[in-house]
Amino acid sequence: MLTETIICGFGGQGVLFTGKLLAYAALYQGKELSWMPSYGPEMRGGTCNCSVCLSDEPIGSPLVNTPDVLIAMNEPSFDKFESTVKPGGIIFADSSIIGKKSVRDDVTCFYIPSTELAKENNLTGMANIIILGKVIRECSDRLLGINYDMIVSAFEKIIPPKKAALVEKNVNAFKIGYDYK
C-alpha cells in the first residue's frame, strides 16, 4: 500500500516538521518512505508544503501530484491543493484560519480549529501538532497503521535531550487534536 500526503500552510507553522514526524514514525516501524519539501525562495509567512510517501514497498516516484491525504494549514494552500486530492481521499483543514469548506463531494473533510485550540491551551505555535493528532485519530489505517503511541515515541526520539521539555508540550498538543470531536 502506498499513501501520499501533502502538508501545506505558511512558512513558520511547522509544516515541514509535521511531515518529518510522520516520516520518522514510519521509519521506526521499518516502513519505506520519502519526505520532500517544497524548496525555493520561501520565507516565514510565505506558503510552504511538503510531500510524504509511505509504503510497505520501495517508493517509486516520490513526487506527490494527487495526495490521498491533505493537511491544509492556510487558505492559499487549501485553494491550491483541494482539487488535487484523489477521489475518496481525506482533507484536514485548520478552520481557525481557513474560512471556507471544501466544494468536493467525493472526499471526506475534517475541520479542526487547531490554531484556536493551541491558543486556548497555551500552546501557541503548535497548531500543526494538534491537527496531526486529529489526522492520526481519523486515518491511522491509511497511514500504514501509524498510531498514537508511534507518534509519541517519534517525539521522544527526534527531540534532542537538551530540549526534553518540548516532548511533553508536543504530546499535550498531539493529545488535544487526537481527542478533539
Partner 1 sequence: MERVLMKGNEALAEAAIRAGCKCFFAYPITPQTEVAAYLAKNMKKRDITFLQAESEIAAVNMVLGASSAGVRTMTSSSSPGISLKSEGVSYLAGSDLPAVIVNVQRGGPGLGSIQPSQSDYWQATKALGHGDFQLIVFAPASVQETVDMTLRAFEEADRYRMPVMILTDGFLGQMMEPVSFSDETPVIEEKEWAANGHKNGRKHNIINSLFLQPDELEYSVNERYKRYDIIKEKIHEAEVYKCDDAEIVLAAYGTTARVAKSAVNQARELGIKAGLFRPKTLWPFPAAELKEACKNAKTVLSVEMSQGQMVEDLRLALDCRIPVEFYGRHGGNIPSPDEVLEQIKKISERSL
Contacts with partner 1 by CB under 8 A lie at 20, 23-24, 27, 30, 32-37, 39-41, 59-63, 65
Query: In the chain, count of helices (H) and strands (E)?
Result: 6, 6
Indicate the residue among 65 and 124 with the shorter CB distance to partner 1: 65
Q: Which among 95, 159, 153 is positioned nearest to 127, based on CA atoms?
A: 95
Position 128, amino acid = N
Position 130, amino acid = I
> For residue 69, what is the enclosing H or E element?
strand 69-72
For the bound state, the minimum distance from the C-beta of residue 45 to partner 1, rounded and expressed in Å, comes to: 19
Indicate the residue among 21 and 91 with the shorter CB distance to partner 1: 21
Indicate the residue among 61 and 124 with the shorter CB distance to partner 1: 61
For the bound state, the minimum distance from the C-beta of residue 84 to partner 1, rounded and expressed in Å, comes to: 11
Indicate the residue among 86 and 137 with the shorter CB distance to partner 1: 86
- The one-character DSSP state at 164 is T
Distance from C-alpha of 172 to C-alpha of 95, rounded to nearest angstrom: 20
For the bound state, the minimum distance from the C-beta of residue 61 to partner 1, rounded and expressed in Å, comes to: 4
Grouping H, G, I as helix, E, B as strand and the rest as coil, residue 121 is: coil
For the bound state, the minimum distance from the C-beta of residue 30 to partner 1, rounded and expressed in Å, comes to: 8
Indicate the residue among 40 and 87 with the shorter CB distance to partner 1: 40
Q: Which among 38, 1, 3, 5 is positioned nearest to 19, based on CA atoms?
A: 5
For the bound state, the minimum distance from the C-beta of residue 111 to partner 1, rounded and expressed in Å, comes to: 29
Distance from C-alpha of 94 to C-alpha of 99, rounded to nearest angstrom: 9
